[in-house]
Amino acid sequence: MTQQRAKLRTRVPARLAASAVLALSLTAGAAATTAPAATAAEMPCKPRVYYYVYKGSGVNFRTGPGTGYKSKGLLHKNDWGKKVGTKGSWIKLKLGQKSKSGLAKGTTGWVSKSYVSDCTPMQLD
């Protein structure tokens, strides 16, 4: 019986170590595959060029610069696009990705400047 216990004592730590190594490698592999990668869908940060919806949910994306123009659909928080033009308090955007409401990437439309903001790069000293 003592020989069997001695064998178990040497096998158990080795098995635990092997299990720990396997668990760590699986976790590291999962982290590497699920880590967010930069994609074309992410908003590039270039002030006064790219804008995103930061305020409100269900903001009208219109055919022209004013409330009298028809809505093409809705933009939601974090939908973004590249500035194509401005007129008064309105900005014309070309969507950089499919919007959360389903508007296709590349769709152009007008949104009130009060609902959007350009990105602000962080300055690290």
| Per-block mean pLDDT, blocks of 10 residues, the chain (125 long) | 54 52 48 38 80 90 98 95 97 96 97 91 72
User: What is the pLDDT, as a whole number, of residue 4?
Assistant: 57
Q: Is 71:47 a contact under the CB 8 Å cutoff?
A: no
Strand segments, DSSP code E, in the chain are: 50-53, 59-62, 71-75, 80-87, 90-95, 108-112, 116-118
What's the pLDDT score for residue 40? 41
Give residues with Cβ within 8 angstroms of 113, minimum separation 6. 86, 89, 90, 91
The whole-number pLDDT of residue 107 equals 98
* pLDDT confidence of residue 19: 55
In terms of CATH, what superfamily is 50-118? Answer: SH3 Domains (2.30.30.40)
Single pTM value for the model: 0.63
Q: Which amino acid is at 96?
A: G
Residue 81: closest CA among 101, 107, 113, 63: 107
State the amino acid at position 5 in one-letter form.
Answer: R
Residue type, 12: V
Q: What is the dihedral of CA 11, 12, 16, 18, to 10 degrees?
A: 10
Domain boundaries, the chain: 1-33, 50-118
